[in-house]
């Protein structure tokens, strides 16, 4: 029987009420609350308390039926399966615990669902959006009072090093929504916001220690709700970053696991080998497949056993809980290839069932279009069929636009790589869902990849905002933030200047930016706003012509609009014979140049300077 009373963090945020006769050492119940009217009426509660398996448990609430109580290896856990009938009303379920040393009740809350029951939020991020990725700790400090939180393991707060926390938070992001909307951004993807209570390197957020707690150093649950509510009021969307594969070694269910196989166990420490090919290689060995999927990501990030049904239920219910509790619109999944893929299909489908418009894309940092397409909806006739809508398109980055702007032109090099990578879109069910980008929090900033050459950088911007898919920016792209991952990835995660009181310059304002920075900011803004008003780019078709003599041409078009994009990667002036493109240009007599806002007569030939991307809206 449980002895002392210990109010967990969940009582502090008001999600669970406790009324006990004899005193329980209760650590938590997960999920911390649920809702009536969910499409899936089943709910599995995980109760974590000292020796709770010794107790007899009963449930009393109209419309709620106790299906099963499961006791597991660790006596500090029980799993309670409930059926919540369609007619159940919001209120508090009484969970009665009766043991040899006394008894007590826990009141578990059932809430009414959000308005629309999953149809008026979770709208999904689509090719009509421009998404902006932010690492909250490095963007803006809106509430200095939460910079350090007593009792948490990481008490660092040093902006002079990239290895410690800097104090950015959710309020800081909310304070700059005007800036982001002025730029034209319609969706935010934040690096994970869940608690990371570990001794060091907590700025990135990818090592959860409590799934049901928004990190208090970011402002906690209230700040997250306030940010999302304000975004929705403005017509903006929020994408949450999910991590299913691993947690931090300080997670409560790692320090006190419900059962031995809660984590993948090995005779001695075994790291994943990161070779995704073995998952689809017809010649792969069983041990190579097992190490890829079951090996730990790092020694500090234990690998969850998603084939364990209790682990699977915990993760799936948490995903649904986040969408319903906070109203997020999209779901980005970290390290997708390392998860149990059967589990991922099940988890994705659970989200689709409750939220039919939600968008889901996964990180697939792999090498090869086939490799990448294997993990999302594709046209392969193979045993494993992924139901994830799309991926972060590393192929279009590394083997497409990066090659186009860093390699000399050739039959297979330079712009030919971009063309060839796009030609392989035949493998995807819907290439327009692919998330295209120039950089993110794990790789060198593209401005640095291009040796801080703004001429080529503008070519990249024009490509990003006119190509197929969902464009994703990384915070600071628009003000020429630079950095590489050598010697450490922290150098691509520097602070946005102006996000902290006392910063020498404030890049959120025109006055705080240099002439060069304003030039790029305005270039981004011009192309984003053009894109936001372009039906051809947002939802239209694409046609490309194979590159010749260092020039690559593609079109975005529908029955309302035609946009022509001409990329010249050489240093030389090129003359473009428009007759080659008569299939798309016939009937047009004028062209609007997006970069300078000028309209001119469309001649039979167009001259294009070196290192330039010309984007034209064709007009009659």
Phi, psi of 443 (to 5 degrees): -130, 165
565 Cβ neighbours under 8 A, 6+ residues apart: 462, 463, 466, 553, 554, 555, 556, 613, 614, 615, 616
Of 363, 439, 478, 495, the active-site residue reads: 363
Element (H, E) at 311: helix 309-326
Written as six digits, the tokens of 268 are 């001695």
Q: Transcribe 366-396 into DSSP letters.
A: -SSHHHHHTTSSB---SS------EEB-HHH
- The answer to whether 542 and 436 are in contact (CB under 8 A) is no
* Angle of CA points 230, 233, 238, to nearest 5°: 65
Of 325, 334, 340, 517, the active-site residue reads: 334
What are the C-alpha distances in Å from 370 to residues 36, 378, 424, 446, 477? 42, 9, 9, 24, 29
The two beta strands, 562-568 and 612-619, are: antiparallel
Residue 191 burial (C-beta neighbours within 10 Å; 0-12, 13-18, 19+): buried
End-to-end CA, the chain: 81
Written as six digits, the tokens of 142 are 């809106």
- Residue among 517, 506, 449 nearest 479 (CA): 517
Written as six digits, the tokens of 233 are 């009021």
> To 10 degrees, what angle do helices 220-233 and 309-326 make?
50
The yes-or-no answer on residue 120 being catalytic is no
* Angle of CA points 603, 607, 612, to nearest 5°: 130
- The answer to whether 433 and 361 are in contact (CB under 8 A) is yes
What are the C-alpha distances in Å from 453 to residues 343, 406, 457, 460, 573? 44, 11, 6, 11, 19
Q: How far apart are CA 572 and CA 556, in angstroms?
A: 26
Q: How far apart are CA 230 and CA 174, in angstroms?
A: 8
Neighbour-count burial for 144-180, b at 16+ CB within 10 Å, e otherwise: eebbeeeebebebeebeebebbbbbbbbbbbbbbebb
The yes-or-no answer on residue 109 being catalytic is no
Written as six digits, the tokens of 33 are 């609350």
Written as six digits, the tokens of 6 are 């210990």
- The answer to whether 110 and 73 are in contact (CB under 8 A) is no
Q: Give the residue numbers marked as catalytic.
A: 334, 363
């Amino acid at each position: 029987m449980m002895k002392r009373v210990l109010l967990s963090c969940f009582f502090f945020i008001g999600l669970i009420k406790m009324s006990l006769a004899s005193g329980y050492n209760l650590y938590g119940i997960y999920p911390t609350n649920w809702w009536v009217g969910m499409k899936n009426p089943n709910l599995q509660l995980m109760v974590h308390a000292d020796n709770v398996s010794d107790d007899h448990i009963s449930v009393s609430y109209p419309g709620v039926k106790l299906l099963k109580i499961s006791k597991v290896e660790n006596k500090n856990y029980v799993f309670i399966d409930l059926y919540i009938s369609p007619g159940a009303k919001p209120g508090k379920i009484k969970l009665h615990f009766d043991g040899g040393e006394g008894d007590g009740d826990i009141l578990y809350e059932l809430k009414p669902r959000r308005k629309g029951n999953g149809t008026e939020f979770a709208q999904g991020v689509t090719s009509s959006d421009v998404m902006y990725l932010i690492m909250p700790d490095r963007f803006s400090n809106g509430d200095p009072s939460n910079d350090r939180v007593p009792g948490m393991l990481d008490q660092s707060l040093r902006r002079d090093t990239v290895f410690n926390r800097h104090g950015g938070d959710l309020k800081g992001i909310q304070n700059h929504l005007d800036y982001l909307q002025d730029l034209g951004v319609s969706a935010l993807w934040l690096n994970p916001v869940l608690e990371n209570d570990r001794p060091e390197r907590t700025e990135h957020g990818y090592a959860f220690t409590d799934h049901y707690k928004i990190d208090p150093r970011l402002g906690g649950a209230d700040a997250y709700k306030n940010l999302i509510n304000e975004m929705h009021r403005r017509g903006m969307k929020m994408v949450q970053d999910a991590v299913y594969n691993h947690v931090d070694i300080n997670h409560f269910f790692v320090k006190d696991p419900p059962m031995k196989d809660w984590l993948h166990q090995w005779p001695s420490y075994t790291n994943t080998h990161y070779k995704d090919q073995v998952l689809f290689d017809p010649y792969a060995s069983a041990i190579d497949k097992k190490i890829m999927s079951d090996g730990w990501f790092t020694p500090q990030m234990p690998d969850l056993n998603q084939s364990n049904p209790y682990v699977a239920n915990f993760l799936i219910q948490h995903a649904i809980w986040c969408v319903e509790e906070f109203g997020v619109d999209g779901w980005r999944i970290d390290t997708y290839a390392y998860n149990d893929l059967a589990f991922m299909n099940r988890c994705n489908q659970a989200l689709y069932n409750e939220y039919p418009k939600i968008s889901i894309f996964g990180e697939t940092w792999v090498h090869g279009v086939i490799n990448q397409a294997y993990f999302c909806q594709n046209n392969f006739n193979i045993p494993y069929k992924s139901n994830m809508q799309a991926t972060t398109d590393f192929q279009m980055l590394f083997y497409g636009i990066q090659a186009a702007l860093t390699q000399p032109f050739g039959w297979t090099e330079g712009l030919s790589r971009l063309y060839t990578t796009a030609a392989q879109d035949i493998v995807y069910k819907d290439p327009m869902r692919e998330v295209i980008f120039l950089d993110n929090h794990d790789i060198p900033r593209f401005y640095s990849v291009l040796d801080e050459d703004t001429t080529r950088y503008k070519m990249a911007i024009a490509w990003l905002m006119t190509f197929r898919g969902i464009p994703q920016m990384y915070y600071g792209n628009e003000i020429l933030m630079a950095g590489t991952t050598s010697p450490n990835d922290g150098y691509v995660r520097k602070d946005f200047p102006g996000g902290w009181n006392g910063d020498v310059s404030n890049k959120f304002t025109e006055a705080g930016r240099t002439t060069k920075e304003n030039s790029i900011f305005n270039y981004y803004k011009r192309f984003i706003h053009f894109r936001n008003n372009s039906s051809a780019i947002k939802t239209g078709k694409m046609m490309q012509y194979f590159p010749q003599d260092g020039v690559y041409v593609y079109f975005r078009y529908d029955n309302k609009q035609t946009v022509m994009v001409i990329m010249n990667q050489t240093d030389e002036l090129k003359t473009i014979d428009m007759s080659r493109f008569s299939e798309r240009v016939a009937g047009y007599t004028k062209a609007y140049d997006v970069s300078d806002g000028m309209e001119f007569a469309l001649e039979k030939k167009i001259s294009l300077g070196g290192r330039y991307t010309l984007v034209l809206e064709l007009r009659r």
